[in-house]
Amino acid sequence: MPHIKVYIHFVWSTKNRVPFLNSPEIRKKVWRHIAENARFKGIFVDFVNGYADHCHCLVSLGVDQSIQKVVNLIKGESSHWINKNNLTTQKFEWQNDYFAVSVSESKLNVVRDYIKNQEEHHTKKSFQEEYDEFIKNYNFTNFGEDKLG
């Protein structure tokens, strides 16, 4: 039996960064659903949170899981669930693009705290500013200006 531990910090935005998730109540429902549905599908979501126009998700990949498969399952099913439950007034969609960066064991608590504090974080900084920092900090120099937009 293989023993692996590969943590990935995913970040993705709503389509065109529309603030569909514009209340704490809606966000709590969506984050809870993402975690519960992922668990049902054998995806270990360590932590999930976000803000009105984006989501952060810390995932420990399983032995037979790929980044693309995991993020597509989470995003696709959650957008379907949001629309089915009429949580937004317009048709909800996630943006196609996303960030996915590895997280070392020694930085897990730092990333968890960062994800946990999204509400407070975004009282001081927009998602665009956060996006620009990700581009810079992770050397995503080949990204276009609106990949997550």
Rounded-to-integer distance, Cα 56 and Cα 48, Å: 6
Least confident of 8-12, 112-116, 118-122, 137-141: 137-141
At 57-99, the pLDDT tens digits run 999 999 999 999 999 999 999 999 999 999 999 999 999 999 9
Q: List, for residues 87-97, the tens digit of each pLDDT value.
A: 999 999 999 99
What is the pLDDT averaged over residues 21-46? 97
- Cα separation, 63 vs 128, whole angstroms: 34
Nearest to 77 by CA among 120, 40, 112, 49: 40
Q: What residue ranges do the domains of the chain occupy?
A: 6-137
Amino acid at 6: V
DSSP letters spanning 11-55: EEEBGGG-----SHHHHHHHHHHHHHHHHHTT-EEEEEEEETTEE
Span 6-137 CATH architecture: 2-Layer Sandwich (3.30)
